[in-house]
Structure 1
Amino acid sequence: MGGNSTKATSGINGAGTQTQQEYGIPDNAKIFFDDTKKSARDLARDNLIRVLTGRSGDAVNWLQDKFALDLSKVARLGGHSQPRTHRGNAQFPGMVITYAQMERLEDLAVSDPSRVKILKKARVTKLIKEGDVVVGVEYIHGNATHTAYGPVILATGGYAADFSSDSLLKKYRPELWDLPTTNGDHCTGDGQKMAMAAGASGIDLEKVQVHPTGLVDPNEPGAKVKFLAAEALRGVGGLLLDNEGQRFVDELQHRDFVTGKMWENGKYPIRLVLNGRASKDIEWHCKHYVGRGLMKRFDSGDALAKEFGLAPAVLKKTFEDYNNSVRTQKDPFGKKFFSGEWSFDDFFHVAIMTPVLHYTMGGLEIDDESRVISSNGKPIPGLFAAGEVAGGVHGANRLGGSSLLGCVVFGRVSGDSAAKYLLMQASEAVAKAGGRIGQLAGQLGGSSASGPPSASAPEAKKETASSLGVKASSFTAEEVSKHNKKDDVWVIVDGQVLDVTNFLPDHPGGEKAILLYAGRDATEEFNMLHDPKVIPRYAPDAVIGTLKK
């Protein structure tokens, strides 16, 4: 579980939050509403924006209060008139938020299995309808087809990696087909296609956001899947410079605007540069990107100029021009918010940028109660949607920091709506049954017509040390280094040797995040991102031994 949300890097928006009040930031839902409506342009839908922005402060406070999450830093991203994008001091906020909720859900599945059941390795293939009402789903688990009954909430993500034969991306935005993407290969619009096949209305499907700052790996510049450079890197003061060392855009403009200026300028490679102050403000991100070989650190302006292949005087002039904008508050590119002056005598973090497919604003049409709307304009009873699968929330362009917010806000709304719907069904059924509550137990428990699968069918797996039952032993670093291919991947974490071959397709961050450390010690990077309990919770069978000293 987790999807792209685990990889969200900039933070979650919230207006009027406890954190903002502590910093004295004069933000409120009305200001956030206006910013979002302006970004959405002519496709703004006031009812959905009002839910997103009006419940944003409570959503952030809920995450802090109920899950004890660190969201103590606030940044101003592109298109925001106030700093309102929350993150903590370490780790990607998307990972922090999704893991906390996933773990709580998993704990409930253990402590109260009558209420919560998690079924992994299951693929929903069809919505079950009785007349116009969605009453459940059909899904494949192992090699068998099963059914589950009850109201359905779709939270299946977008289609910005839909390179399939029936691609929504190719159908609605064929000119973007060849761009790289930040999305995992699971983002093929399955939820949208399934619901539309059942009569749901699709909306804004041509609205696909191209993020301006995808990180180019110097060792694999043509890779179809890119890591995202968090918008927060520009929010803390990072500058975009072309191959002549010149600025060409307000770095804090809307994403689609910055992307357009990159294409218009056309002087590649385009680099994102952070000075010392910005680097310290977002230190964890920089360290993470450097560790993955996606960003470089330079300890002087001269070294930075050498990386660009330019004379030091060129970058000095760029910095001087920018400092003049800071002092006068008049920028030739229209920038309004600055983070201080730049010095050539400083240290810098630098990465090469490219536009990337990132987010799909289009999806299933929903109302302000997260009910999916049918092609006849009415809510489909029993069907709800939350997150990127739902369209129309962000209009023509999504503001940075509002993807996680959409998940949390409309996730809570859809949960409330589905529970209310189920309660109404139960009440009506009780009345019809003359109070015979026992007859309703199956319905309220979400029973399956074919019964829940008692066990997963054996899955075809590659033969690896762990799958072959190799007993735990000790290995040298040299022995581990030989297992460095996609079909045979070992890594070292905190002195333990893990065979993660079978875990590759399950990793929320994608296969590449693990393959970067194939046959190597991944301790530092792993501990930057994960809590110690992650291995025993999610991949206990991967541990095959210890590192021989």
Structure 2
Amino acid sequence: MATSFPTNQAIVVGGGLGGMSAANTVVENGGRVVLLDKSSFCGGNSTKATSGINGAGTKTQKAKGIPDNADIFTQDTLKGGAKKPELAKLLCVNSASDVDWLVEKFNLDLSLLARLGGHSQPRTHRGKERFPGMTITYALIQMLEKVAEKTDLARIVTKAKVVKLIQEGKACVGCVYEKGGQNFQEFGPVILASGGFGADFTSNSLLAQYRPDLLHLPTTNGEHCTGDGIKMGEAIGAKSIDLEWVQVHPTGLVKPDDADAKIKFLAAEALRGVGGIILNAEGKRFCNELGRRDYVTGEMWKSKPPFRLCLNKASSDEIIWHCKHYTGRGVMKFYENGEALAKDMGVALSVIEQTHEEHYAAAKKTETQPDAGPWPAYPSGKSWDEASGKTGSGKKFYHNIIPGSCVKNEPFYVAIITPVIHYCMGGLLIDTDSACVGPNNQAIPGLYAAGEVAGGVHGNNRLGGNSLLDCVVFGRVAGKAAAKYMLGADMKDVDLKDVTGGGLTGAVESSKLAGGSYEDKMNTATAGAAGAPAGGGGGGGYSMEEVAKHTSKSDCWVVVSGQVLDVTSFLSEHPGGELAILTFAGKDATEEFNMIHPPDVIGKYAPDAVIGVVGSGAPAGAVATGAKAGGAPARKDLGGKLANHHAWGHLDGDLQPNWRVDLEDNPGALLINVKSYFNATWFLLLSVLYEVCATIFTAKNIKISNDRLGLTRSAILLILFIVIHAVGNLHVFKGPDDFNGYGYFYVRLYWTGFGLPANIVEEYILLSVLLHVFVGLKRTWDMKLALVNTQGINVLNLAISGLMLLTFMTIHLFQFRFGDTDQFGPYYVRPPPYLINFWGILSLNLFWTQDSSIEPVGVRDIYALEFQIFKNPLWSLFYIFSVGVFMVHACLGWKKVTPVLGIPRGHIQKVEMIGYAIMIVMGLVYISFPLYVMATKPFSGYEDSIQIPGRVE
């Protein structure tokens, strides 16, 4: 081994399926492994995969008589976008043996098959229960946990963020990671399995660098996907490849009551594989649902939203587990018949009947004359399907079709879908040993990559079902290569079942070291083991009415199998993201929870979240206090738990074995984390500055698209203008010299106005207003109107308040900007020679001077105009009412804007609160003007002697 740090330990960075495959394989080849994951729990994005894992020539396929093999699979993968044949071939050749490895070594059920988009054979494997990503990844996690429990061959360290790779010469010999505010080192060859960068929306992210055009889109990625591994690899000379190829998945699920959420659930591609079809707002098909993901997304951009993924009864029955899960989460809806669906869509039933009839007819013709159709088919041949054939990618495969005559009485499961950032094809360039390639096109000794962090495997587009396969295949390749690099001739075959004393008897078997910080054995002294609910609140538990009161991010309870869980502090740690839990805040989530989780998950990963059971409820007037293990009452913490723990003298509790138990014994305190609000404000300022600069300097041309980028950026610029304008208008309190001088300040900018009777600021703001209105109206027409039938008029709150504001702004401009001031005569001020009176800054006399050497200049008397208009109570009330509408509109819009500004996720809620405070303060400032005018008399000015006598009464 080419390093002065002799070790037979490999380091795996990332606890998803790629990392777990690598770690288990290292052990299988006689090595030791330490797995570092920066999240609180292992799993990563792999647990979210819903379609399955591909395999060509598996035992499952052979048992079903499917004539698939590695060569056919390789050709499909190359057609799908892969550009490096050697990596594509390795992926496909290893697919059968690695899928069989999962089945045989981890007792997994992968007996169901589906054909996904871009595949010529049904080769995507999944089980009968639970989502395949969760099932597969969890089984591998369990195995490695048992290895760590029973031997010294494995260690698992969570909340460990790797920040640097260590080099000796050209070799990578270890890494530095941060945990609990301290830095630690591990030595050995490193396998990076840290994922992609699809959740990093910050201004310096890889996404902003390579695909800034996608920053406005929502994502399916967990917040840990920030490209850390790619950046660290590049820092020591590893080459990257294809970073510009970021896959936009066509079927992100839209939650109608939170349509603009930045994080979206993903509709499994298997839903289309079993026969789901996609309809546009008009109820028509417009693409080949089984085409490549980039193709389907492209056709969606060209068609009219909202788009719906529709499954008839036969299709939904085949994948009912998914449909029930999505329905429970509020992102899919069941319709008793096609008539109800048509009514909800706002289209005639006959349209949907005709759509299905055309699809049915194309399928029947394909059965009898598969290659005689008039349209080019995908991936080859001819198609009878006109809807997709016109796009050059005609549909060739059909499943669970129904004729149009059945639609009226056919039950449907339907979801509204939208394109989402899903997968980063690019990453660190690897070779066929999964080793990272350096600047000399040679492998960097001791550095490997697997999963989404690795580049070159998929080219410019990944086929569905290849992500889990990629993790397993290249995780195993990397694990074996790292073991060989460490051990050489000392490599040996190790049976995981022998190591763990029999292995796993099922994919849900637990180990003592499961969850949390494994090396600290955090859970060995905590309460709430699976199957042993803790005692409840006063008098027999909590009522569902009490649970229903806790529905926010700062106070979130859910019920699972009769247990009441306070998951507030767990939200940010949940591998599936906050939204997955918040959907069920204040509700019973038992059915949906059990669909995707093994039964021991709560006891393993969140035992301290159990605060009681569902019962008769606390006595009237009592405050629910929660409970500790064994039913002993516990205090309800008023501040952040760890912050309070520190406040009572416990330092770095996260590194102490029993900190969760100790934590319950502190009295609690109402703490305000001032630093977090300071940081949130800082990120807010940076984001606003970036958006304003991007608006001004990066717009190269004008284009019409279906995204909300124009709406967001114009909103930020308008908010900035409104704040500045409010500050300027405050000069009315200082009198006519300041207020009229402030107005004249802008007049002096006319020379920049391209010869128009306005200055550059006014012109730019006008363009921003027009852009904001145009994009807002277009999105309302395209997307919101269709939701009124199902969600009510509330979905149009922004549109209605926006139109009211547009009316107000038009009247306001005619009253003030174009208002008649000739009736008062000019007001004379001595304008400062350099636009602003720098010598008057301390006295805030910025826009006029009393220097008698400067000739007075007659300006518009907007001060007198303001008093004339606002002395009329009706105009004042109209103005105050409109400011109220502005505050409502601004706060509603701010909630939608905040998640897309690139602000770190942990600060978003505080940034929202800061934004609301700004809007309310601005509203109060604007309301103060008419109130001030109605309550006072106009001031004659400081230099009354230079005014025309009798100018104003």
Q: TM-score when scaled to structure 1?
A: 0.90
Tell me the equivalent position of 2:412.
348
Cα distance per residue 1:307-358 (max 9 Å; x no partner): 1111111111111111110111121121100114312131111111111110
Tell me the equivalent position of 1:181.
219
In the alignment, structure 1 segments of 5+ residues that lack a partner are 428-451, 458-469
Tell me the equivalent position of 2:169.
131
Tell me the equivalent position of 2:142.
103
1:201 aligns with 2:239: yes
Tell me the equivalent position of 1:22.
63
The within-5 A match list for 1:68-467 is: 68-112=107-151, 114-265=152-303, 267-329=304-366, 330-332=384-386, 333=388, 334-342=394-402, 343-344=406-407, 345-424=409-488
| Distance in 1 between residues matched to 2:224 and 2:536, nearest whole Å | 33
Cα distance per residue 1:130-164 (max 9 Å; x no partner): 11111111011112111111111110001111212
Q: Counterpart of 2:157 in 1: which secondary structure?
A: coil
Cα distance per residue 1:58-98 (max 9 Å; x no partner): 11111111111111110001100000001111211000000
Would you say the 8 A contact 1:373–1:379 is kept in 2? yes
Select between 321-330 and 402-411 the one with higher mean Cα deviation. Answer: 321-330
Amino acid at match of 2:385: D
Cα distance per residue 1:517-538 (max 9 Å; x no partner): 1222211111111111111111
Cα distance per residue 1:418-448 (max 9 Å; x no partner): 1001113989xxxxxxxxxxxxxxxxxxxxx
Deviation at 1:505, TM superposition (A): 2.1
Deviation at 1:472, TM superposition (A): 5.8
Q: Counterpart of 2:57 in 1: which secondary structure?
A: coil
Q: Counterpart of 1:118 in 2: which secondary structure?
A: strand
Amino acid at match of 1:245: G
Amino acid at match of 1:242: N
Larger strand percent: 1
Amino acid at match of 2:144: L
Q: 1:520 aligns with which of 587, 590, 610?
A: 587
1:49 aligns with 2:88: yes
Amino acid at match of 2:424: T
Q: CA RMSD in A?
A: 1.8
Q: TM-score when scaled to structure 2?
A: 0.52
Amino acid at match of 1:13: N
Select between 341-350 and 153-162 the one with higher mean Cα deviation. Answer: 341-350
- For the pair shown, the structure with the greater C-alpha radius of gyration is 2
Would you say the 8 A contact 2:329–2:584 is kept in 1? no
| Distance in 2 between residues matched to 1:296 and 1:455, nearest whole Å | 44
Deviation at 1:494, TM superposition (A): 1.1
| Distance in 2 between residues matched to 1:253 and 1:71, nearest whole Å | 24
| Distance in 2 between residues matched to 1:295 and 1:38, nearest whole Å | 32
Amino acid at match of 1:385: A
| Distance in 2 between residues matched to 1:169 and 1:229, nearest whole Å | 23
Amino acid at match of 1:85: T
Tell me the equivalent position of 2:544.
477
In the alignment, structure 2 segments of 5+ residues that lack a partner are 1-41, 367-383, 389-393, 492-516, 523-533, 617-953
Would you say the 8 A contact 1:472–1:543 is kept in 2? no
The within-5 A match list for 1:54-69 is: 54-69=93-108
Larger helix percent: 2
Deviation at 1:402, TM superposition (A): 0.2
Q: Counterpart of 2:481 in 1: which secondary structure?
A: helix
Would you say the 8 A contact 1:142–1:456 is kept in 2? no
Would you say the 8 A contact 2:157–2:519 is kept in 1? no
Deviation at 1:475, TM superposition (A): 2.3
Deviation at 1:455, TM superposition (A): 5.7
Select between 504-513 and 289-298 the one with higher mean Cα deviation. Answer: 504-513
| Distance in 2 between residues matched to 1:506 and 1:100, nearest whole Å | 20
Cα distance per residue 1:461-490 (max 9 Å; x no partner): xxxxxxxxx986432223322322212222
Amino acid at match of 2:273: G
Select between 517-526 and 56-65 the one with higher mean Cα deviation. Answer: 517-526
| Distance in 2 between residues matched to 1:141 and 1:131, nearest whole Å | 27
| Distance in 2 between residues matched to 1:128 and 1:242, nearest whole Å | 52
Q: Counterpart of 1:136 in 2: which secondary structure?
A: strand
Would you say the 8 A contact 2:102–2:136 is kept in 1? yes
Amino acid at match of 2:319: I
Q: Counterpart of 2:440 in 1: which secondary structure?
A: coil
Would you say the 8 A contact 1:15–1:53 is kept in 2? yes
Q: Counterpart of 1:117 in 2: which secondary structure?
A: strand
Amino acid at match of 2:442: K
| Distance in 2 between residues matched to 1:181 and 1:232, nearest whole Å | 19
Would you say the 8 A contact 1:164–1:188 is kept in 2? no
Tell me the equivalent position of 2:577.
510
1:496 aligns with 2:550: no
Would you say the 8 A contact 2:434–2:449 is kept in 1? yes
Tell me the equivalent position of 1:541.
608
| Distance in 2 between residues matched to 1:454 and 1:409, nearest whole Å | 28
Given the superposition, is the C-alpha separation of residues 97 and 453 from structure 1 closer, same or farther in structure 2, using an over 3 Å criterion? Answer: closer
Would you say the 8 A contact 1:269–1:353 is kept in 2? yes
Given the superposition, is the C-alpha separation of residues 453 and 235 from structure 1 closer, same or farther in structure 2, using an over 3 Å criterion? Answer: closer
| Distance in 1 between residues matched to 2:239 and 2:467, nearest whole Å | 21
Q: Counterpart of 1:184 in 2: which secondary structure?
A: coil
| Distance in 1 between residues matched to 2:542 and 2:568, nearest whole Å | 17
Cα distance per residue 1:148-190 (max 9 Å; x no partner): 1111111000111121232111111111111111111111101
Select between 171-180 and 382-391 the one with higher mean Cα deviation. Answer: 171-180
Tell me the equivalent position of 1:441.
none
Q: Counterpart of 2:258 in 1: which secondary structure?
A: coil
1:6 aligns with 2:47: yes
Q: 1:33 aligns with which of 40, 64, 74?
A: 74
Matched residue pairs, number?
509
Amino acid at match of 2:456: G
Deviation at 1:545, TM superposition (A): 1.8
| Distance in 2 between residues matched to 1:314 and 1:182, nearest whole Å | 32
Would you say the 8 A contact 2:536–2:542 is kept in 1? no
Q: Counterpart of 1:545 in 2: which secondary structure?
A: strand
Amino acid at match of 2:449: A
Given the superposition, is the C-alpha separation of residues 109 and 454 from structure 1 closer, same or farther in structure 2, using an over 3 Å criterion? Answer: closer
Amino acid at match of 1:52: L
